[in-house]
Amino acid sequence: MPRPATTIVDELGIALANLGDAATGAFTPTLRLGVTGLSRAGKTIFITALVHNLLTGGRLPGFAPLAEGRFIGAKLAEYPDATIPRFAYEQHMEALTGADPVWPESTRRISQLRLVLKFQSGKFLSGLRGVSTLNLDIVDYPGEWLLDLPLLGLSFAQWSAEALERADRPGSGDEAGPFLDALAAIDPLRDASDADAERLAAAFTDYLRRSREHGALSTLPPGRFLLPGDLEGSPALTFAPLPPQRQAVRGTSLYAMLEARYEAYKDRIVRPFFRDHFARLDRQVVLVDTLRALNAGPAAVADLETALTAVLACFRQGETNPLLRPFVRRIDRILFAATKADHLHHTSHDRLETILNRLVANAARKARFAGAETRSLALAGIRATSEGTIREADETLPTIIGTPMRGESLDGVTYDGKTEIALFPGDLPEKPDSLFVDGEKVELNFLRFTPPRSLERNANGDVVLPHIRFDRALDYLIGDWLA
Ligand code: GDP
C-alpha cells in the first residue's frame, strides 16, 4: 500500500508550525501563496511582476481592491524564517529594466519573500474599521523538486519499476541507452561499492538530462539529480533505479545500498520539503508553459499532462486528518495559469485557456472533489509583445510584434536580438481533444522575445510592467483576503 504523503509526526510538526504562525501573527493575518510550476514555466517572472505591481500599484483594473480604491500600498518586509533564501526581487528588476533588458535567472532553489499589504476593508464603514494589514508570504520553488512529491508514495522497487519501464519504452532508446548499458553491466546483488553507485547515478542523471533536453517532463524525478541546490555531490543523490531481484537481497549488496539511499533521499530531503513548505500553503498558483509543450509536439503534451497530474495529486487540498484540521491549513484555491500568453495574439487566448483546462482536467477534478476551487487563465506576467495585423494575399492575419532573442531562428532566419518583427504565431485548434486523442501537432511559429524595452513610468516615476490578465490572476489569488 502506498504510504501517506505525511506521517502523523509530520502532521504534528505542521500543526505546531501553524500555531507558531498564529501566535506571531496574532494581529496581522498571513496569506501563504505558493508559486509552483515546472522549470522555466515562468515562476520568476510571475513573482517579480506580482511584487512590482503591488509595490507600485501597477495598472491592474481587474484587481478589485485597487480598482475600488481600497488598496493603500505594499512594502517589502523581513521574512520571519531567516534560514530560507530571499527571492532576489531587486536583482530581477535590475535585469529587466537595465539599459539592455534581459530576462532574470530562473528559479534554482526555494526562496521566499514577505510583502506587507495595507488596505481599507470594504466590509465595514471605513471610519469604523480603519486600515487593515495583511502579510503576503510568497514561496517560490523549482519545478524539478515538485516532481519528487509522488516518490513519497513509492517504495524503491515500485519507483525502479516505473523508471525502468519508461527508460525501456520505444523512443527512449537514444537517451536511455547508455544508462541501460551501464545497468546491464552490473550485478545488483554483488557487494556494494561507491564506485558502482556513482557510475550508475551518473549514467542515470545523464539520461534524465537528455530526456529533459528533448522536452520530457515526467521522466525527471528525482528532481535534485538535475537541480541539486545545496546537495551537489552528496551521497544522498548517488542512487539509480534497479531491476527487481528474484534472489534474497543481502544487506551488504549494491541493491541494498541504493535502496537505503533512495529511502534517505525521501526521508531527509523530499519529506521535509513537503512538510515545511507545501503543507502550510493557503493558495496555490500552478504555472504551465503550455505553448512550449504544444510546440514540442504530442509526446511533450502527453508528458506534461502526466507530470501535472502526478504533481497535483500531492497537494493537501483539504484531505487532512480530522483531529488536526483546526490547526492545519489547506489550499482552498488553485489557479492554473498558462504563462507567456503574449506569444499569441489575444484572439487565441480563449483557445489557450481551453487547452490548459483540458491539460489539468484530471488534477482539477481531484482538487475540486477535495473542496478546493480552481480556475484556469491564460496570462503573461510581463508582456514582451504588442499586436498588429499583416495582409497576405487577400487575408488579414493577426500578428504579434516583438524582438526575437539573439540566436532565435525561424524559417532559416536567425535573429540578432535587436530587430523587431511582426509574426503570425499560428492558430490553436478549436477543439483541444485533437491534441490529446489523435496527438495532433500544432503548427506554431514560436520564438522567444527579449523583455519589453522603453517601459512607461507612472506619476511616481515607477516603471509600469505591461502584462496580460495578471490583474485577474491577482484578484483570484488574494483579492478576497483584502475584501
Ligand atoms: P522559472 O522561474 O524557471 O519558472 O521560469 P522564469 O520565470 O525564469 O521564465 C523562464 C523564461 O520564460 C524567461 O527567461 C522568459 O524568457 C520566459 N518568460 C517567462 N514569463 C514570460 C512572460 O510573461 N512573457 C514572455 N514573453 N516570456 C516569459
Query: Running along the chain, 483 residues long, what does each successive block of 10 average in pLDDT?
Result: 50 54 66 90 97 95 95 93 91 95 91 95 63 94 77 90 89 84 95 95 92 69 81 85 94 97 92 81 92 86 82 56 45 92 95 93 76 90 95 88 96 94 91 81 90 92 96 98 93
Cell of 186: 552490473
3-state DSSP of 138-185: EEECCHHHHCCHHHHHCCHHHHHHHHHHHHHCCCCHHHHHHHHHHHHC
- Alpha-carbon distances, residue 459 vs 30, 386, 455 (angstroms): 30, 23, 13
**CA 76 to ligand 1 center in whole angstroms:** 23
pTM of the model: 0.87
Q: Which of 141, 295, 340 to mutate to test the pocket of ligand 1 (most atoms within 8 A of CB)?
A: 340
Atom 14 (ligand 1): residue with closest C-alpha? Answer: 103
Q: Helix, strand, or coil here: 464?
A: coil
- Alpha-carbon distances, residue 477 vs 49, 114, 286 (angstroms): 14, 16, 11
DSSP state of 380: B
Specify the pLDDT at position 254: 97
Q: Helix, strand, or coil here: 74?
A: strand
**CA 41 to ligand 1 center in whole angstroms:** 6
Atom 28 (ligand 1): residue with closest C-alpha? Answer: 340
Specify the pLDDT at position 219: 58
Q: Sketch out the chain's domains with CATH numbers.
A: 8-141+277-383+467-482 (3.40.50.300), 156-271 (no CATH), 386-436 (no CATH)
Specify the pLDDT at position 392: 81
**CA 112 to ligand 1 center in whole angstroms:** 18
Atom of ligand 1 nearest to the CA of 37: 4
Q: Which of 38, 53, 103 to mutate to test the pocket of ligand 1 (most atoms within 8 A of CB)?
A: 103
Atom 24 (ligand 1): residue with closest C-alpha? Answer: 340
Q: Decide if 425 contacts 401 (C-beta within 8 A).
A: no
Residues touching ligand 1 (Cβ under 6 Å) are 37, 39-45, 103, 106-107, 339-340, 342, 380-382, 384, 448-449
Atom 18 (ligand 1): residue with closest C-alpha? Answer: 42
Q: Which of 35, 43, 45, 93 to mutate to test the pocket of ligand 1 (most atoms within 8 A of CB)?
A: 45
Specify the pLDDT at position 4: 47
**CA 340 to ligand 1 center in whole angstroms:** 7
